[in-house]
Structure 1
Amino acid sequence: MSTLKPIVVWGHDMGPNPLKVHIVLEELDIPFDYKIISFSDMKKEPFLSINPNGRVPAIEDPNTGVTIWESGPILEYIIDQYDKENKLSYDTLAEKYQIKQWIAFQISGQGPYYGQAVWFSRVHHEKLPSAIERYTKEMERVRSVLELHLSRSPSGWLVGDKMTVADLAWVMWEQIGTLILLFQDIHLEGKYPHYDAWYKKLLERPTVRKVLLSRTKSLRESGLAPDAPDPF
């Protein structure tokens, strides 16, 4: 990878989706330039020429000339283009599409519901108990899906016999989900033992620890979650 030009990753220092990309690039030892952009600058040029949706992450790859936004396709692009040794992936048909399946569930079933739980419990100007309850229950429902699948997985990973990008795609939002539950004094430890064991293995990854420590520091300093506990 030493001959590669750094991939430009547009993100910010608190949101989970750019940091998913950060973790995977670190795992594959791919050089990248992480550019932090303010929320206001996401909504105007020149960033709208990169992502017309005005969100992060987005990447620009000078090695291929490819620009992509949305975290799921970004992760799949990085794997297809750069994980030639299948460190975080498989080249067998079933496993390849099972990875896509779990990434799809992460971006459709985990991220949006967890994000709404954050909004209504920590950001929204008015406390709406019914909204907080709905999205908190959805967070637990998603965990129950993970628990069921992991209870049937001999390896304890989502796909095959090793950790893949499918697992790493989940870790940042799971960290946020854990914080939101703690802020509401909801403790699920022991209720989903296979999930707990899986998540613990993810937290032990050096790349995950590095990114989570950085994000916790940003949460505390920003004032968004000054009471954010240590992530481990």
Structure 2
Amino acid sequence: MSDAKPIEVFYWPTPNGWKITIMLEECGLPYVVRPIHIGKGEQLTPDFLAISPNNKIPAIIDPDGPDGAPITIFESGAILRYFGEKTGLFYPRDLRARVAVDEWLFWQVSGLGPMAGQAHHFRIYAPEKIPYAIDRFTAEVERLYGVMDRRLSAHPYLAGEDYTIADIACFGWVKLWDRQGIDLARFPAIGRWLAAIKARPAVQRGLAVGSDGRKRGESDG
């Protein structure tokens, strides 16, 4: 894939942004990061909205899309599935196995991510501490961790025996367990899974991409 044109990744270092840089590193696809500073409202510019109409990162432009034509994609789950299908990696061909991956991928994008995001907001960022909101979202995240821990008590990875895009999707959110008010010691299977994924070199490289689009330690020289 060394001759391929780089994929443009519209990114900010958040759990959803990390999904894409981790997947690209795992797959060995060439990419270039286009930082979108969400704190400055850059996600609301017309140019970005043309790619991501929901004004959220991440989004991508793949110059070598289906049939060789460029394609733009928004929504992190859709991007992960696209890369899995494009490369044949971390997203099985077998339909039964693929359904298991999709179940946990959709569980993350519809449940774990939104609920953890609300927990982050009300616990850390909200200008007013609202006990009802803090309790509600912290409790729901804790319930979801229980679901995940039971699954990982029976299987090494979320979709079964193999590491897949479902694990990549969940990792960035679970990595921030302390910001969600979670006592990770209560979820030993998640702790084991989290340590295994953190140890992957591609995961470490994906996490190292910063707000300027560079990996930590890179310089101009």
Larger relative contact order, structure 1 or 2 (CA cutoff 8 Å, min sep 6)? 2
Partner of residue 49, structure 1 = 50
Partner of residue 209, structure 1 = 204
Which residue, out of 162, 184, 190, partners 1:188? 184
Post-superposition Cα deviations, 1:30-75, rounded to whole Å, max 9, x if no partner, equal: 0011110123221121111111211111100001211110000010
Partner of residue 158, structure 2 = 158
Residues 1:131 and 1:215: Cα distance change in structure 2 (over 3 Å): farther
Partner of residue 19, structure 1 = 18
Partner of residue 117, structure 1 = 119
Secondary structure of the equivalent of 2:32? strand
Written as runs of structure 1 = structure 2, the 5 A alignment for 1:104-143 is 104-143=106-145
Post-superposition Cα deviations, 1:138-162, rounded to whole Å, max 9, x if no partner, equal: 1111110011112222xx1112322
Report the AA paired with residue 29 of structure 1: G
Residues 1:208 and 1:178: Cα distance change in structure 2 (over 3 Å): farther
**Contact 1:139–1:177 (8 Å) recurs in 2:** no
CA–CA separation in structure 1 for the residues paired with 2:177 and 2:188: 16
CA–CA separation in structure 1 for the residues paired with 2:37 and 2:210: 16
- Supply the RMSD in Å over aligned alpha carbons: 1.9
| 2:83 pairs with 1:78 | yes
| 2:94 pairs with 1:95 | no
Post-superposition Cα deviations, 1:113-150, rounded to whole Å, max 9, x if no partner, equal: 00000100111110111111111111111110011112
Partner of residue 194, structure 2 = 199
Report the AA paired with residue 83 of structure 2: I
Report the AA paired with residue 34 of structure 2: K
CA–CA separation in structure 2 for the residues paired with 1:56 and 1:19: 10
Alignment length (residue pairs):
206
CA–CA separation in structure 2 for the residues paired with 1:165 and 1:76: 7
**Contact 2:43–2:56 (8 Å) recurs in 1:** yes
Report the AA paired with residue 107 of structure 1: V
CA–CA separation in structure 1 for the residues paired with 2:210 and 2:176: 10
CA–CA separation in structure 2 for the residues paired with 1:24 and 1:212: 11
**Contact 1:4–1:31 (8 Å) recurs in 2:** yes
Gapped runs of 5+ residues in structure 1? 217-232
Identity of aligned residues (%): 35
